[in-house]
């Protein structure tokens, strides 16, 4: 059973297009995240949702819009894609906010290439 699953795994698209990445977790967790990993492997948090409520919104262009229809799903929609958006996007989840010892569980990543 896949704990955190995201689709698609690979996505190649042209500049200016709009695309979505879907994420689902079956762990019963309250908190979900989107992280971006650049070509140098640096990981940066983009968004965090707790029980469908936006908790963290780092300095991310507003072309990126997360949507959480329920606490098991957190989708990422990207408008007007730019070359610099090429990266690996990781969905993740943890039990709940507020406890520092919570482990974050990651999906396998979505490799986005903008051409």
Query: Closest Cα partner for 113 from 88, 77, 78?
Result: 88
Closest CB to other proteins among 64 and 106?
Answer: 106
Q: Considering only the stretches 14-22, 59-67, 71-79, 104-112, report the one whose residues sit in contact with other proteins under the rule CB under 8 A.
A: 104-112
**Number of residues near other proteins (by CB under 8 A):** 24
Name, in order, each residue with C-beta under 8 angstroms of 25's C-beta and a sequence gap of 6 or more: 3, 4, 5, 32, 72, 73, 91, 93, 105
| Nearest Cα residue to 9 out of 115, 113, 109, 85 | 109
As measured in angstroms, the least distance from the Cβ of 20 to other proteins is 19
> Under rule CB under 8 A, which residues in 9-38 are in contact with other proteins?
33
By beta-carbon proximity to other proteins, the closer residue of 17 and 100 is 100
Binding site for other proteins (CB under 8 A): 4, 33, 40-43, 45, 48, 55-56, 90, 97-109
């Amino acid at each position: 059973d896949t704990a955190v699953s995201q689709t698609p795994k690979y996505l190649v698209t042209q500049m200016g297009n709009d695309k979505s990445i879907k994420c689902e977790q079956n762990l019963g967790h309250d908190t979900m995240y989107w992280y971006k990993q650049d070509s140098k492997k640096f990981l940066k948090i983009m968004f965090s949702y707790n029980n469908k409520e936006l908790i963290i919104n780092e300095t991310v262009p507003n072309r990126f819009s997360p949507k959480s229809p329920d606490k098991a799903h957190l989708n990422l929609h990207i408008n007007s894609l730019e070359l610099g958006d090429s990266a690996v996007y990781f969905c993740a989840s943890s039990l709940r906010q507020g406890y520092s010892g919570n482990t974050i569980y990651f999906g396998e990543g979505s490799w986005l290439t903008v051409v």
